[in-house]
Amino acid sequence: MVINAGIIGGAGYTGGELIRLLLIHPGVNISFIHSRSNAGQLVSSVHQDLSGETDLKFSDEIKDIVDVIFLCLGHGESKKFLEQNKIADSIKIIDLANDFRLIPDSKIGNREFVYGLPELNREQIKKAKNIANPGCFATTIQLGLLPLAKAGLLKDVHTTGITGSTGAGQSLSATSHFSWRENNIQAYKTLTHQHLGEIVQSLQQLQGKTDINVNFVPWRGDFTRGIFISSQISCDLSLHELNNLYETFYEGHPFTHITKEPVFLKQVVNTNKCLIQLEKAGSLLVVHSVADNLLKGASGQAVQNMNLILGLDETTGLKLKASMF
């Protein structure tokens, strides 16, 4: 079985990572990579890490003989794209933006999007035609909290997280320049981050419609890629009980792993993994979770979702080694 895939918005970071993953995927042929601003140019002239890997060129045409289309557009642009372009109902859509993640916004025309966090919705994803790929912070925070939600243990959560510069996208801004990021960190969007809605939605899906307060302070870090999350919760269960709870919840999920050793970014950068470590002092539990914002937090998870909706083993093309040294 050969999967023919198209990419809309292939010039950015998530588009580049998606191209890299699909080129090495044993079951995928990339039919087109759409980019109006780069039409006619070699993909490797924009994504120079792909030099010698592909002769594909960007196109301003959208081919309709494909099995799946990935939307790697800016937030708010995916909905506009689907409104302005007729895409056959038979073509599956995986959207990497935030346009369809929240249930009130999960439909457009005849298309209904399933929230694409496999550790939460794997069986629904297998039956879906359209996937709303989760956000990077949302993925890493949720994976740290889902077992607690399943056990009905969440009320007030205090979360801090730091992300690399690629989390801000490829367009330059004052806070994405090297000279600003180097030897510098900054809190931003304190308690108002756009991923909060999808995080609470998923936690309530497991725990029920109880009040769950997620107080999130994100940080900009002076590194390129990766997310490190620490979530603090009051909990009376012992550390042994909690580790068993987490290991049971994630049994059979190939990319999320529980460890009793301190976690750090180099374990997960360049992989589709999320590592989780629990620490406890008295009644306070701290859950550390780490992931690559461009892979498990974006393009890697999109490929994982493609594998699931098209009946492949979800790890296909995603057995990647961390860039440890």
- The string of pLDDT tens digits covering residues 204-255 is 999 997 899 999 999 999 999 999 999 999 999 999 999 999 999 999 999 9
Picking from 218-222, 283-287, 321-325, which range would have the lowest pLDDT averaged per residue?
Answer: 321-325
Picking from 47-51, 70-74, 120-124, 206-210, which range would have the lowest pLDDT averaged per residue?
Answer: 206-210
Q: How many domains does the chain have?
A: 2
CATH of the domain at 35: 3.40.50.720
pLDDT, residue 323, reads 87
pLDDT, residue 36, reads 84
72 included as an active-site residue: no
Q: Are 215 and 282 found together in one domain? A: yes
Query: Which domain covers residue 240, as residue numbers?
Result: 136-291
| CA pair distance 101, 95, nearest whole angstrom | 9
Q: Is residue 262 part of a domain?
A: yes
| CA pair distance 19, 58, nearest whole angstrom | 11
| CA pair distance 193, 178, nearest whole angstrom | 23
pLDDT, residue 64, reads 85
| CA pair distance 293, 227, nearest whole angstrom | 6
What is the pLDDT of the chain when averaged over all its residues?
A: 95
Q: Is residue 186 part of a domain?
A: yes
Count of residues making up the chain: 325
> In which band, very low, low, confident or very high, does the pLDDT at 173 lie, cut at 50, 70 and 90?
low
> In which band, very low, low, confident or very high, does the pLDDT at 77 lie, cut at 50, 70 and 90?
very high
Q: Given the structure tokens 């390129």, which residue do they identify?
A: 224
> In which band, very low, low, confident or very high, does the pLDDT at 325 lie, cut at 50, 70 and 90?
confident
> In which band, very low, low, confident or very high, does the pLDDT at 171 lie, cut at 50, 70 and 90?
low
Q: Is residue 68 part of a domain?
A: yes
Q: Are 98 and 159 found together in one domain? A: no
- Residues 65-74, mean pLDDT to the nearest whole number: 96
Q: Are 142 and 274 found together in one domain? A: yes
Q: Are 112 and 21 found together in one domain? A: yes
| CA pair distance 8, 15, nearest whole angstrom | 8
Picking from 62-71, 145-154, 159-168, 184-193, which range would have the lowest pLDDT averaged per residue?
Answer: 159-168
Q: Are 127 and 143 found together in one domain? A: no
Q: Taking a C-beta distance cutoff of 8 angstroms, is the pair 29, 43 a contact?
A: no
Catalytic residue among 72, 136, 235, 274: 136
Q: Is residue 109 part of a domain?
A: yes
| CA pair distance 165, 13, nearest whole angstrom | 11
The pLDDT > 70 percentage for the chain reads 97
Retrieve residue 75's tokens: 């937030």
CATH of the domain at 251: 3.30.360.10
